[in-house]
Amino acid sequence: MAKAGPASVEFRNVSMRYGAVTAVDNVNFTIKAGELVTLLGPSGCGKTTTLRMIAGLEIASEGQILIGGKDVTKLSAADRDVSMVFQSYALFPHMTVLENAAYGPTVKGLSKADAARMALEKLELVGLKGFEGRYPSELSGGQQQRVAVARALVLEPQVLLFDEPLSNLDAKLRRRVREEIRELQQDLNLTVAYVTHDQEEALAVSDRIIVMSNARIAQQGAPRSLYEEPADAFVADFIGDANLVDVTVRKVAGGHADVSIGSVTVSLPARGLAPGPARVAIRPEALLIGEAGKPGALPGKIRKCAYLGNHLDIMVETEVGELFVVQYGAREMLEPGLPVTISFASSGLTLIPSA
Ligand SMILES: Nc1ncnc2c1ncn2[C@@H]1O[C@H](COP(=O)(O)OP(=O)(O)OP(=O)(O)O)[C@@H](O)[C@H]1O
Ligand SMILES: [Mg+2]
């Protein structure tokens, strides 16, 4: 069995068209060997199509795809060293856990004993030793998911693909299994392309995130840079919550901008903007509620307040529109109609370079 080790993946100007539908439009990215990169975006933006092109399950209409520096654009799935974990797991219901995990090597023509040995090794890795004889229907969702991972790992592919692998699991299990996948990826030094539409999941597991919107890449980068420096309003709103507020840039000097948010002026990194109208993305936790009449703060009025255990979700009416505020820690509920002020934390606000 070839053990080529993890390989990089590169897309050069790749498009995929189905008749009149452009599912992926001139996309460029690189996943380095041993990296976990997430494709994140809303339904229909082209995530699955992108994965299927890496796997060779779809052949790109245009552009070039390289795996480990080698052009695989026209190679079929069988000729690429790539495995995919599907959203539905796609386990064979009539096969045991062991037979499912041994499926790949069996199809490749290995002896039954060799295939079983390889499968057992991977089942042990995902914590399923002792479950070999069960059928998928006798497993929990999380266990089935791990069988699917073992089955994908068994051939030690150069690239491993996950298409929304956690969508069938409940919230607690989702968190645990995503951490398991991340640990496995790091321990085994795997190249992984991971698809999700859940921004929190993407932030939690990724080395880098590629945000897709309408068949194109909206922005790519490290989780933190996407959250703190979104390139546009779509990314600001999709990665975490954001209040998008119309503002005026008064003055730019030394890379900093004086920005009027209603009657309050703050200084923010200019991000290449010139004086004039602009938009700011403000994280809900960067808005601080104070007593009415506080100088240098935006006057406002509580509209709604919801108790969510460890935090309050609060809507405040202000001169720049309705703002969504999150307050952590034990706090009193704020009554609708109560006059307050809003001031701004020193981080969690950013000018948006393109509207
Ligand atoms: N075989 C096909 N024929 C025609 N159109 C297709 C085909 N496969 C996908 N599409 C279209 O291409 C676009 C991208 O689809 P894709 O499955 O890649 O989206 P996605 O980002 O994975 O969405 P989701 O989060 O809902 O799974 C969609 O508009 C979809 O309808
Ligand atoms: Mg999909």
Q: Is the CB of 128 within 6 Å of ligand 1?
A: no
Q: Which ligand is nearest to the CA of 24?
A: 1
Mutation test residue for ligand 1: of 14, 49, 196, the one with most atoms within 8 Å of CB: 49
**Residues 24-81: tens digit of each pLDDT:** 999 999 999 999 999 999 999 999 999 999 999 999 999 999 999 999 999 999 999 9
Dist CA 134 CA 289 (whole Å): 56
State the pairing for strand pair 82-85/159-163: parallel
State the distance from the centre of ligand 1 to the C-alpha of 147, rounded, in angstroms. Answer: 26
The rounded Cα 141 to chain-centroid distance in angstroms is 21
- Which of 88-92, 117-121, 193-197, 325-329 bottoms out in mean pLDDT, i.e. has the lowest? 88-92
What is the percent of the chain with per-residue pLDDT over 90, rounded to a whole number?
A: 79
Q: Could you identify the atom of ligand 1 that is nearest to the CA of residue 16?
A: 12
Nearest CA-CA partner of 190 in 140, 146, 246, 152: 152
Residue closest via CA to ligand 1's atom 18 equals 46
**Does the pLDDT value for residue 5 go beyond 60?**
yes
Predicted local distance difference test score (pLDDT) of residue 355: 61
CB of 21 shorter than 6 A to ligand 1: yes
Spatial strand order in the sheet of 82-85: 82-85, 159-163, 192-196, 36-40, 208-213, 216-221
Residue 203: Cβ-neighbour burial (10 angstroms; 0-12, 13-18, 19+): middle
Using CA positions, which residue lies closest to atom 10 of ligand 1?
A: 23
3-state secondary structure (DSSP) of residue 25: strand
Nearest to 66 by CA among 37, 15, 30: 30
What is the model's pLDDT at position 140? Answer: 87
- Residue-level pLDDT at 315: 97
Judged by its nearest atom, the ligand closest to the C-alpha of residue 58 is 1
Where residue 111 falls among pLDDT bands split at 50, 70, 90?
A: very high
End-to-end CA distance of the chain: 51
Show Cβ contacts of residue 253 under 8 Å, excluding neighbours closer than 6 positions. none
Confidence class of residue 324 from pLDDT cuts 50, 70 and 90? very high
CA of 45, closest atom in ligand 1: 21
**DSSP line for 201-253:** HHHHH-SEEEEEETTEEEEEE-HHHHHHS-SBHHHHHHSS--EEEEEEEEEEE
Give the pLDDT score at 174.
Answer: 83
Q: For ligand 1, is residue 43 a contact (CB within 6 Å)?
A: yes
Determine the average pLDDT of the residues in 228-236. Answer: 93
- Residues in the chain, how many? 355
Q: Is the C-beta atom of 47 inside 6 A of ligand 1? A: yes
Model confidence pLDDT, tens digit, residues 171-190: 887 888 888 889 989 988 99
Q: Is 23 in the pocket of ligand 1 (CB under 6 A)?
A: yes
As a whole number, mean pLDDT of residues 114-119 equals 94
Nearest to 269 by CA among 253, 248, 282, 283: 253
pLDDT value at 344 more than 50 = yes
Residue whose CA lies nearest to ligand 1 atom number 16: 46
* 105 Cβ below 6 A of ligand 1: no
Inform me whether the pLDDT recorded for 259 exceeds 50. yes
Ligand 1 near 49 CB (within 6 A):
yes
Q: How confident is the model at residue 1 (pLDDT cuts 50, 70, 90)?
A: very low
Which ligand 1 atom minimizes the distance to the CA of 21? Answer: 5
Atom 7 in ligand 1: residue holding the nearest Cα: 18
- Give the position, in ligand 1's atom list, of the atom nearest the Cα of 52: 18
Nearest-CA residue for ligand 1 atom 24 is 43
Which residue has the CA at smallest separation from atom 28 of ligand 1? 44
CA dist list (Å): 33 to 80, 92, 157, 205:
15, 31, 12, 16
Q: How far is the CA of 46 from the centre of ligand 2 (A)?
A: 7
* Distance in Å, CA 21 to ligand 1 centroid: 9
- In short, whether 196's Cβ falls inside 6 Å of ligand 1 is no
